[in-house]
Amino acid sequence: MELIVFPPTYGEPTGSPFSTKALAMMEQSGLDYTVRYLSDPRKMPKGKLPVLKVGERMIADSEKIQDYLEQTHGCDFNKGLTDLQKATSRAVIRMVEEHIYFIVYASRWMEDAHWKVTKEANFGAIPRMMRGLITRAIRKGAIAQCKGQGMGRHSKAERLMRFEKDIWSLSVLLGDQPYLFGDTPSSADNTTVSALRFICAFTHENDLADCVRSYPNLVAYMERGKKEMFPSI
Instruction: Round to whole Å and give the CA distance between 103 and 152.
Output: 8
Q: Tens digits of per-residue pLDDT, 14-41?
A: 989 999 999 999 999 999 999 999 888 8
Longest dimension (CA), the chain: 56
| 201, amino acid identity | A
CA distances from 68 to 77, 90, 146, 195, 229 (A): 12, 17, 29, 22, 19
SS3 53: strand
Q: Tens digits of per-residue pLDDT, 91-120?
A: 999 999 999 999 999 998 888 888 888 887
- Who wins on pLDDT, 92 or 202? 92
Least confident residue range of 76-80, 89-93, 109-113, 162-166 = 109-113
Q: Is 159 exposed, middle or buried (0-12, 13-18, 19+ CB in 10 A)?
A: buried
Question: In the structure, what pLDDT confidence band is assigned to residue 69 with cuts at 50, 70 and 90?
Answer: very high
- State residue 57 phi and psi, 5-degree precision: -85, 135
**E-strand stretches of the chain:** 2-5, 34-37, 51-54, 57-60
Give the pLDDT of residue 126: 65
Q: Which residues contact 62 (CB under 8 A, 6 or more apart)?
A: 18, 19, 21, 22, 25, 50
